[in-house]
Amino acid sequence: MDNKGYVFSPLTVLLLIPVLVIAINYAEIVNEANTLANIAIGGDVTYNTATNVFGFIQKAAADSGRNSAYNATRYVIDNKKFFTDSKSNIRQNIVNSLNVNVIASCRELENQTGRQIFINNIPINNYTNQTFNLNDVTITQDDPFGFYVNVRGGIPIRVEQKDQVYEGVTPPISSYVSLEGMEDPYIWIKSKQRFSNVIFKYPYYEFSPVTGRNYRFDETVDRDLIRLNYLWECLNGTNNPSNITPRPYYVPDPYGLSFFDRLENRTNTSSTSPQSVRMSTFIIGDPLLEDHGRPDISRVDHEYFRNIIGYTITVRNQPIADPTGSTFYLSVIYRNLFNLQQSYQN
């Protein structure tokens, strides 16, 4: 009998028992499912925290590389002193900056997620700023206008919260650092601070494994203005991102100097850089006329500073000039490399 006076037969009671059992079991299932869901969500947060750390390292590597390269140019310009080993200096500064940036980002992530992060088996919150070391970072370069900051793979990463632990290792991480927009300290110091130039890539250069280098300097011969286009545009820096002219572009040049050569005041013969990462630009005007005592010096930057004799290029028997109106001279080696003629007739 229930509390309202109803009488249940034995059969009715037997029918109710499975319902009660199912209800009890369902409640347990719901609780267990909630527990599993919480574990799964917690695991996702822990895993996502680890993947965010990988992203922090990649971004910090790029930012640290750019900042370290810029600081190296400023060191040479401000101190009027070249490096003996610029790449090692930049690499050490990258490691220092990488530690600062990654640690700051990971601490913020710890505060947001409640997880504890370890890199290289070192807790992020140990306040030593020594998560990465010099053996973790290398620099490689395969084009003149940038380099790669490589953070080695296999660095242990661990993310913890209570009984949840993610353990793994970093993949190899490589971030490209552009050198465009940086001032060239080699030009500034070698021209006795009279001529400044910023590294921007000449936009019309082409290379083919079949046909080789094509600078396109004399693609159009302007016989009225006595110009070779796109040589004049290269000398002028027409449409360069800083919109300052004249500011000559830089061209890939197997006989030139790499970015690191320029930080070390090397010559093209003392350089140890591969030919694929070298570049040259042009000297506008003749800032060192009183030093070399004659105007006919090749205007390719490293040749100009070594007093290499140059020769005019004429259009309709008149020598071409740079955007300042100064006669333009070029050595035979570079006239051949740039595939230019000595004279362009009518």
Do residue 268 and residue 121 come from a single domain? no
Each residue's pLDDT tens digit, 229-279: 999 999 999 998 888 889 999 999 999 999 999 999 999 999 999 999 999
Do residue 191 and residue 256 come from a single domain? yes
Q: Does residue 222 fall inside a structural domain?
A: yes
What mean pLDDT, rounded, does the chain reach? 87
Spatial CB neighbours of 79, under 8 Å, sequence gap ≥ 6: none
Q: What's the CA gap between 294 and 297, in Å, rounded?
A: 7
Query: Residue 9's pLDDT is what?
Result: 52
Place of tokens 């190899």: 172
Q: Does residue 5 fall inside a structural domain?
A: no
Q: At 24, is the pLDDT very low, low, confident or very high (cuts 50, 70, 90)?
A: very low
Query: Residue 156's pLDDT is what?
Result: 92
Query: Residue 127's pLDDT is what?
Result: 65
> Domain boundary at 128, 158, 178, which?
178
Q: Does residue 23 fall inside a structural domain?
A: yes
Strand duo 206-208 + 212-214: pairing: antiparallel
Q: Does residue 162 fall inside a structural domain?
A: yes
Do residue 64 and residue 117 come from a single domain? yes
> Domain boundary at 160, 178, 196, which?
178
Q: Which of 93, 302, 322 is nearest to 186 (CA)?
A: 302
Question: Does pLDDT of 12 surpass 90?
Answer: no
Each residue's pLDDT tens digit, 159-183: 998 778 889 898 999 999 999 999 9
Q: With contact defined as beta carbons under 8 Å apart, do 177 and 146 qualify?
A: yes
Question: Does pLDDT of 16 surpass 90?
Answer: no
Query: Residue 126's pLDDT is what?
Result: 74
Q: With contact defined as beta carbons under 8 Å apart, do 139 and 35 qualify?
A: no
Query: Residue 225's pLDDT is what?
Result: 96
Query: Residue 45's pLDDT is what?
Result: 66
Query: Residue 130's pLDDT is what?
Result: 80
Q: At 6, is the pLDDT very low, low, confident or very high (cuts 50, 70, 90)?
A: very low
Q: What's the CA gap between 125 and 110, in Å, rounded?
A: 9
Each residue's pLDDT tens digit, 280-311: 999 999 999 999 999 999 999 999 999 999 99
Percentage of residues in the chain having pLDDT higher than 90: 72
Do residue 202 and residue 301 come from a single domain? yes
Each residue's pLDDT tens digit, 95-142: 999 999 999 999 999 999 889 999 988 898 876 778 899 999 999 999
Question: Does pLDDT of 93 surpass 90?
Answer: yes
Q: With contact defined as beta carbons under 8 Å apart, do 134 and 95 qualify?
A: yes
Q: At 48, is the pLDDT very low, low, confident or very high (cuts 50, 70, 90)?
A: confident
Question: Does pLDDT of 335 surpass 60?
Answer: yes
Query: Residue 162's pLDDT is what?
Result: 75
Query: Residue 35's pLDDT is what?
Result: 35
Q: Does residue 4 fall inside a structural domain?
A: no
Question: Does pLDDT of 71 surpass 70?
Answer: yes
Spatial CB neighbours of 340, under 8 Å, sequence gap ≥ 6: 217, 218, 228, 231, 313, 330
Question: Does pLDDT of 315 surpass 60?
Answer: yes
Q: Which domain holds residue 217?
A: 185-344
pLDDT, average across residues 24-48 = 47
Q: What's the CA gap between 68 and 90, in Å, rounded?
A: 5
Strand duo 227-229 + 220-222: pairing: antiparallel
Q: Does residue 96 fall inside a structural domain?
A: yes
Q: How many domains does the chain have?
A: 2
Query: Residue 341's pLDDT is what?
Result: 97
CA angle 114, 118, 124 (to 5 degrees): 75
Question: Does pLDDT of 58 surpass 50?
Answer: yes
